[in-house]
Amino acid sequence: MDEKALKGLREQIDTIDRRLRALLNERAACAIKVADIKSATGEATTTPFYRPEREAQIIERLRSENEGPLSDDSVERLFREVISCCLSLEQPIKIAYLGPSGTYTEAATIRQFGHFAKTSPLSSIDEVFREVESGSAHYGVVPVENSTEGMVNHTLDCFMATSLNICGEVELPIHHVLLASAGTEQDEIDCVYSHEQSLAQCRRWLDTHLPNVERRPVASNAEAAKLAGEVERSAAIAGEVAGDRYGLIVLQQNIEDLADNTTRFLVIGDQDVGPSGNDKTSILVSTRDEPGALFKVLEPFHRGGISLSRIETRPARSTNWSYVFFIDFDGHQSSGHIAAVLDEVRSVALEVRSLGSYPQAVGR
């Protein structure tokens, strides 16, 4: 072992660490000055300190300029925490999310807001919406779509009864693991707990490796992990974070049937988000009960060359046998081109309500 070379490298690392510390404190000081300026001009009461579009631009730039050896994802995670820390110096923000703690929604919340945000797990999607509507939380994080199992209809239905906007989206790769208490062997398992969607996402693996084991759906993967720690000869399908939270060991990793299994989460709040340069817009459209109604709504998007990424239908709450359409498309509603298309849609629909324009998930 070349001790002299190692000593030189360690001294170099120490020097770099000191420079990093100084630069981080310099960045934090700038953040405090931003807060001071906003407070002095009165903008602090009208302009949110958290700017999703600005953060998305920073992360996208850092990823595109990254030369390694750190991966783009590693650079993003590091700077999310730096931004989170600096934002906490400007204005501590509270985030409500669909709990309990240890779920993928908590992981998505941390991915978007970092560990310096104050987070609050709630027991239902409705509660998350109410917490943000009441001002008890600045933002909320809720699941809306899984690439394997489809849309979370409860989230869509909540948008029909709220004035909140979508302020951002998070796409989280979902990797399920089989968890059990220490000392439990896989061939001893009599029962597997998990959320019904997770059980569905691991159906083939379970059919192959645990074909005769009872599958019990529960409210969340965190609850499944908790039960697996309490009930003998049982296991849970969840994320590794749930296993860490409840003191379980990993028996098998990555047991999901599809390797690219991803869940999309929405950040909800009461602010309008400016353009970031890579945006998505969501709208809610109700139509007349007549032949060709949906075609009339979609045709202006086709003529305008606007790419639609999602169309979902939900029953309207006002009238039997009538429906509303949730539509996602690329671009920001402030664009003149998109605004003109939306005006055309309004002329043929009963109602068009914007759910917000927001930065598309970065790096996905």
User: Residue 333 maps to which CATH number?
Assistant: 3.30.70.260
Mean of pLDDT values over 269-276: 94
pLDDT digits (tens, 9 = 90+) for 159-215: 998 999 999 999 998 889 999 999 999 999 999 999 988 999 899 999 999 999 999
Q: Give the pLDDT of residue 147.
A: 77
Mean pLDDT of the chain: 91
* 7 is a domain residue: no
pLDDT confidence bin for 301, thresholds 50/70/90: very high
Are 182 and 218 in the same domain?
yes
Q: What tens digit of pLDDT does each residue of 83-110 get?
A: 999 999 988 899 999 988 888 899 999 9
Assign residue 183 the CATH number of its domain. 3.40.190.10
Q: Looking at the structure, do residues 193 and 69 belong to the same domain, yes or no?
A: no
Count the domains in the chain: 3
- Whether 155 and 301 share a structural domain: no
The answer to the question of residue 228 being in a domain is yes
- Is residue 129 domain-shared with residue 251, that is, in the same domain? no
Range of the domain at 97: 17-173
Give yes or no: residues 301 and 168 share one domain: no
* Last residue of one domain, picked from the residues 260, 292, 318: 260
Q: Decide if 267 is inside a domain.
A: no
The pLDDT value recorded for residue 311 is 93
pLDDT of residue 313: 87
Say yes or no to pLDDT of 44 above 60.
no
Q: Among 47-56, 174-183, 340-349, whose mean pLDDT is lowest?
A: 47-56
* 0.75 surpassed by pTM: yes
Let me know if residue 136 belongs to a domain. yes
Same domain, 152 and 56: yes
> At residue 47, does pLDDT exceed 60?
no
Q: Examine residue 9 and state whether it is found in any structural domain, yes or no.
A: no
What pLDDT is recorded for position 251? Answer: 96
Best mean pLDDT range from 70-79, 95-104, 258-267, 320-329? 70-79
pLDDT over 70 at 45, yes or no: no
Q: Do 21 and 99 belong to one domain?
A: yes
On whether both 27 and 91 belong to a single domain, the answer is: yes
- Average pLDDT of span 143-169: 89
pLDDT value, residue 46: 52
Q: Are residues 222 and 167 in the same domain?
A: no
The pLDDT score that the predictor gives to residue 271 is: 92
Residue 292 confidence (pLDDT) = 84
Tens-place pLDDT, residues 203-257 = 999 999 999 999 999 988 889 999 999 999 999 999 988 898 899 999 999 999 9
Once rounded to an integer, what is the mean pLDDT over residues 60-74? 94
Residue 5, in any domain of the structure: no
Residue 51 in domain = yes
Same domain, 68 and 83: yes
What pLDDT score was predicted for residue 111?
93
Nearest to 193 by CA among 211, 177, 219, 215: 215
Instruction: Check whether residue 88 and residue 187 sit in a common domain.
Output: no
Q: Which of 149, 173, 197 is the last residue of a domain?
A: 173
> Domain boundary residue among 173, 205, 225?
173
Residue 266 in any domain: the answer is: no
Is the same domain home to 30 and 105? yes
